[in-house]
Amino acid sequence: MSFESFIASRFLPKDSNTYSGPLVGIATYSIALGVLVMVMAVCILRGFQGEIRQKVVGFGSHIVVTTYATGGAYEETPISTRRPEVSRILGTPGVRHLNFFANKGGMIKTEDQIHGIIFKGVDSSYDTSFFASNLVEGRLFDFPTEKPSNQVIISQTVANKLHLAVGDKMRTYFWQGDFYRARAFEICGIYSTDLSEFDEHYVIGDIRQVQRLNDWDSTQVAGYEILVDDFKHLDPIADAVIAQLGYDLTMATIVGQNPALFSWLDLLDSNIILIIIIMMLVCTVSIISALLIMIFEKTSTIGVLKAIGATDASIRRIFLIKSASIIGKGILLGDAVAWLLGWLQHRFHLVRLDSASYSMDTVPVDLNPWIFVVISVATLLICLLALLLPTAYISRIEPSKTIKFD
C-alpha cells in the first residue's frame, strides 16, 4: 500500500463524529441517486427508441427496392425475382436478409361495415419473427407448395372494428383498373403492435394472391425488402445497395419513408443529454462539498504532513483517493439499484403505459451493460476532474500557522 493510500484509508473512520462524516454519506447517496437517474433514463429511452424502430422495421424492413414506375399500393409495376441485382445485394456486406413482397390496396366488407386495407403479400422466405412475437391470437399463415394460401393475419384494431375473430371468413375487394376483384380469406391469426398507423391498414398474406390479382407470373413482385445486421450502419449499407441497382430501380430506407417518426426518436437523445448534464452537476457539487469540508477539518493534519516532508501533490492524491472511494461507493450503489429496477420492469412489466398514446403497453428497458459501464466511468472521471480545482487550496496551507494554531 502506498503512503497516500494508507493515509486516505485512515480518514473518516466509521465512528467519526466530525461534520464531514454525515456530509460524506450525503455525497455518496447523491452520487448513487444521480447514477440511478442517468442509467434508468438512458435505459428507458434507448428501450423506447429500439421498440419503436423494431415495430416500424417489422412492417417495412430496413431498405426497400422498387421500380421508379411504382404507383403506390394500387398499381404497382412488377420487377423480376431473377434480376442479377438480387445476388449482388445478398453479397453486400452488412445485408442480413432479402425477401420479395407485393402490396395491393383493397377493402374488407362485412354486413354493416367497410374498411380500407393494404394487403401485403410475402413469400416463404419472409422473416416472420416480428409478427410471431406480436401475435395475440391464432397462428401465422402457412405457405402450401402448390396453390396460394388463403390464410391471412389481421391486426387487433381491424378485428375489433369489424367484429372479426380467428377462423372467420373475410370478404375482401381489390381494385383492378376500373373494376374490382373479390377474394375470401380465412383469418388464422391476429396481431397487435400498438402502432395505429400500421395496425389500421395492414393485412399480411401469401404473395401469390397479389400475383394472381395483378395477373403476374410467379417471378414478378413489387420489390425487395432488405434487412441489415446493424441499424447504426444503415446509411453506408444503403449506399452500397443502391450502387448495385439497375437504372430502372430505386431504393428507400425506413428512415426516408418515415422521416417525422425517426426525427422525433432522434430528438429524444437531447432529453437524455439534458438529464445527464443535470445529474452530473448534482454529483460533482455533492462530492466537491464533501471534499472541501474534509480539507477544512484536516487542515492541521495537512500541516503536519507538510512539516514531515509531504509534497502538495502527494497530499492532493490523498484527498483524491478518498474522494474516489466515496464516488465509487455511490456509483456501485446507483448501478445496483438501477439494474434491480430495470430487471424487475423487464421481467414483470410493473409500470404500464397507455398503448394509444405511447404505441406500447409497458415501459421498455434496454439493460445493455455498456450503458452502465459508460455512465459509471464518465461519472468517476468527471467528478475527479472537478475535484482538481478545490484540492488546489491545499497548497495555500502553511504548516507553521496550522500547527501553531493547534
pLDDT of residue 364: 94
Neighbouring C-alpha atoms within 13 Å toward the C-beta of 186: 11
Specify whether the CB–CB gap between 69 and 222 falls below 8 A.
no
Pairing of strands 202-206, 114-122: parallel
pLDDT (0 to 100) of residue 261: 87
First to last CA, the chain: 30
- Please state, in angstroms and rounded to a whole number, the distance separating the CA atoms of residues 367 and 50: 12
Task: Give bridge partners of residue 154 from the DSSP assignment.
Answer: 190
Task: Take residue 288 and report the three cell numbers written for it.
Answer: 466537491
CA atoms lying within 13 Å on the CB side of residue 119:
32
Please tell me the predicted confidence (pLDDT) of residue 1: 60
Of residues 330 and 307, the one with the higher pLDDT is 330
Q: Are 190 and 158 in contact (CB under 8 A)?
A: no
Considering only CA atoms, which of 254, 264, 259, 265 is closest in space to residue 231? 254
Q: Shortest CA distance to 26 belongs to which of 280, 328, 289?
A: 289
Tell how far CA 104 is from the center of its chain. 32
Let me know: does 47 contact 399? Beta carbons within 8 Å. no
CB atoms within 10 A of CB 388: 10
Neighbours of 38 (CB within 10 A): 28
pLDDT at 100 over 70: yes
Query: What pLDDT is stored for residue 15 in this prediction?
Result: 46
Half-sphere exposure of 338 (CA within 13 A, CB side): 30
Closest CA to 31 of 388, 341, 291: 291
| CB contact at 8 A, 74 and 222 | no
Q: How much is the average pLDDT of 4-16?
A: 65
* Mean of the per-residue pLDDT values of the chain: 88
Say how far apart CA 193 and CA 288 lie, in whole Å. 48
Q: Please answer whether residues 127 and 161 qualify as being in contact, where contact means their C-beta atoms are separated by less than 8 angstroms.
A: no
pLDDT at 347 over 80: yes
Percentage of the chain exceeding pLDDT 90: 63
Give me the mean pLDDT over the 384-395 stretch: 82
DSSP-derived secondary structure letter, 16: -
pLDDT top residue among 2 and 81:
81
Q: What is the pLDDT of residues 196-217, one digit of tens each?
A: 889 999 999 999 999 999 999 9
Q: What's the confidence (pLDDT) of residue 405?
A: 46
Question: What CA–CA distance (Å, rounded) separates 99 from 388?
Answer: 58
pLDDT at residue 356 is higher than 90: no
Q: Are the C-beta atoms of 125 and 100 separated by less than 8 Å?
A: yes
d(CA 216, CA 235): 33
What pLDDT, on the 0 to 100 scale, is given for residue 359? 84
In this prediction, residue 352 carries a pLDDT of 92
Question: In this structure, are strands 114-122 and 95-109 parallel, antiparallel, or unpaired?
Answer: antiparallel
Q: Is the pLDDT of residue 120 over 90?
A: yes
CA 142 from chain centre, in angstroms, equals 32
The Cβ-side half-sphere exposure at 356, using a 13 Å CA radius, reads 1
Which pLDDT tens digit goes with each residue over 219-243? 999 999 999 999 999 999 999 999 9
How far apart are the C-alpha atoms of 276 and 382, rounded to whole Å? Answer: 12
